[in-house]
Amino acid sequence: MDPKNFTVAVHGGAEIEPVTGAVMTPIFQTSTFAQKAPGEHAGYDYSRGGNPTRTAHEAALAAIEGAKWGLAFASGLGAEQAIVQTLDPGAEVLVCDDVYGGTGRLFRKLWAKYGLTFHFVDMNNDAEVEKVLSPRIKMIWVETPTNPTMKVIDIAKMAEKAKKVGAILVVDNTFSSPFFQHPLKWGADIVVHSTTKYIGGHSDLIGGAVMTNKQELYEQIKFIQFAAGCVPSPFESFLLLRSIKTLAVRMIHHERNAIAVAEFLEHHPKVKSVYYPGLKSHPQHILAKKQMSGFSGMLSFDLRGTYEDVIKFLPKLKIFCLAESLGGVESLVNHPERMTHASVPPELRKKLGIGPTLLRLSVGIESMDDLIEDLNQAL
Ligand code: P1T
């Protein structure tokens, strides 16, 4: 989506319903569709394979990523699982070391036992990447900005490396949302989202998405979606269609508030460091400005002191709610070490800087002054 194009967000995938003229796609709450004769139907036979509400949702997903195809899944991890299932046994995958804890768990604890090998590397360290890069690598998995330390990874550079060894480049675009970043434009083959987050935007559903311009990948993943059945319900598809219409306006407010919060925290004496790609002090700020059209609403920071200070700080917050997840209109605070990233091996957590004083904020769209005041009084 052209970041200035609110029209795509509002109209992407929308078609007037042909029978009734309904302007908004109805919820086709049905598992099955009548057939005139065996195998003769109007394009839908069973809702695992396809459902008109999901079709409209998938068209909207494609539209906002500027992709030819979009596929909807029942969760972000369900979408990731389908992508991994395109690999042949024995394949090796290069993964950025700072991925969502659940992504790492899916790879380490589930897929590794089926003969796939996952190499977790710091993708901002060329030597680390080159050490593992070889034609055995069939997939490169990038999350940018990363969860939770907000590293920014150069998508175009990783696309070149993927091309060199004949690997597929997957980019998890959840933190940026399609409003601020288009990985396909920078050479990614597949974009994956947890639509639970910014695309859903209201913390009331779980969903996932895959977008691609490559027909072969689309067909493979569509088959997996149908054959393995990790699909969203018609109601979830409807909610997501509804959410996408306000993605652009929400993202502008998330970003505006996050910039203000990041600047406030950076100058607060009780805060040791702030990790936000929109700050000039961020090590990849220039890269972020190049590859993103905005910096989104996620940031992390280290509180000065110890875990005991964190434990005193958290209950004092009145607006920021202590909870996992992100990207909803309401502000959340998360403690990655004990919550979202508890499953990351301790030595890797240490290397990444996911320690006892690290907190992650999903900055919502409340009044900016209220958010800053909330943090200020709690600090
Ligand atoms: O929760 P689910 O919809 O299955 O999505 C998984 C997922 C994938 N990718 C990224 C970057 C994510 O952040 C997530 C989920 N993350 C959280 C729940 C969290 O609080 O970080």
Read off the pLDDT of residues 241-300 as tens digits, 9 standing for 90 and up: 999 999 999 999 999 999 999 999 999 999 999 999 999 999 999 999 999 999 999 999
Structure confidence at residue 3 (pLDDT):
56
For 172, phi then psi, to 5°, come to -85, 110
Q: 181-237: per-residue pLDDT in tens?
A: 999 999 999 999 999 999 999 999 999 999 999 999 999 999 999 999 999 999 999
Check the CA dihedral 25-26-29-32 and report its sign.
negative
Cis peptide before 38 (omega within 30 of 0): no
For the segment 45-96, what is each residue's pLDDT rounded down to a tens digit?
999 999 999 999 999 999 999 999 999 999 999 999 999 999 999 999 999 9
The mean per-residue pLDDT over the stretch 373-379 comes to 98
CA atoms of 70 and 225, how far apart (whole Å): 12
Answer yes or no: is pLDDT of 150 > 60: yes
What is residue 179's predicted lDDT score, i.e. its pLDDT? 96
pLDDT tens string 333-369: 999 999 999 999 999 999 999 999 999 999 999 999 9
Is 197 considered catalytic here? yes
Output the CA 100–ligand 1 centroid distance in Å. Answer: 6
2 noted as active-site residue:
no
pLDDT value, residue 6: 84
pLDDT of residue 311: 98
| Active-site position among 154, 172, 302, 374 | 172
The residues lining ligand 1, judged by C-beta closer than 6 Å to any ligand atom, are 75-77, 100, 102-103, 143, 147, 172, 174-175, 194, 196, 206, 208, 324-326, 334, 340
Residue 4 pLDDT class (50, 70, 90 cuts): low
5 pLDDT exceeds 80?
no
pLDDT given at position 8: 87
Q: How many CB atoms lie within 10 A of CB 91?
A: 18
Percent of the chain with pLDDT over 70: 99
Using most ligand atoms within 8 A of CB, pick from 150, 196, 344, 359 the residue to mutate for ligand 1. Answer: 196
The pLDDT, as a whole number, for residue 274 is 98
Q: Which entry of 138, 151, 197, 360 is annotated as an active-site residue?
A: 197
What secondary structure does DSSP assign to 277-302, as a single string? TTSTTSTTHHHHHHH-SS--SEEEEE
Cβ(240)–Cβ(232) below 8 Å:
yes
Whole-angstrom distance, CA of residue 294 vs CA of residue 181: 8
Active-site residue identified among 44, 100, 198, 218:
100
**Is this prediction's pTM over 0.85?**
yes
- pLDDT 10s digits, 93-139: 999 999 999 999 999 999 999 999 999 999 999 999 999 999 999 99
> What is the position in ligand 1's atom list of the atom closest to the CA of 207?
3
DSSP string spanning 237-253? HHHHHHHHTTHHHHHHH
Task: Read off φ and ψ for residue 166, nearest 5 degrees.
Answer: 75, 30
Residue 154 has pLDDT above 80, yes or no: yes
pLDDT, residue 224, reads 98
Give which of 210, 206, 208 is closest to 222, Cα–Cα.
210
Q: Quick one: pLDDT band at residue 2, thresholds 50, 70, 90?
A: low
Query: Pairing between strand 298-303 and 271-275?
Result: antiparallel
pLDDT in tens, 290-341: 999 999 999 999 999 999 999 999 999 999 999 999 999 999 999 999 999 9
- Is residue 1 pLDDT above 60, yes or no? no
Distances (CA, A) of 6 to 12, 66, 174, 249: 10, 13, 19, 8
How far is 118 from 111, CA to CA, in rounded Å?
Answer: 9
**Domains, the chain, ordered by start:** 4-244 (3.40.640.10), 248-378 (3.90.1150.10)
Centre of ligand 1 to C-alpha 308, Å, is: 27
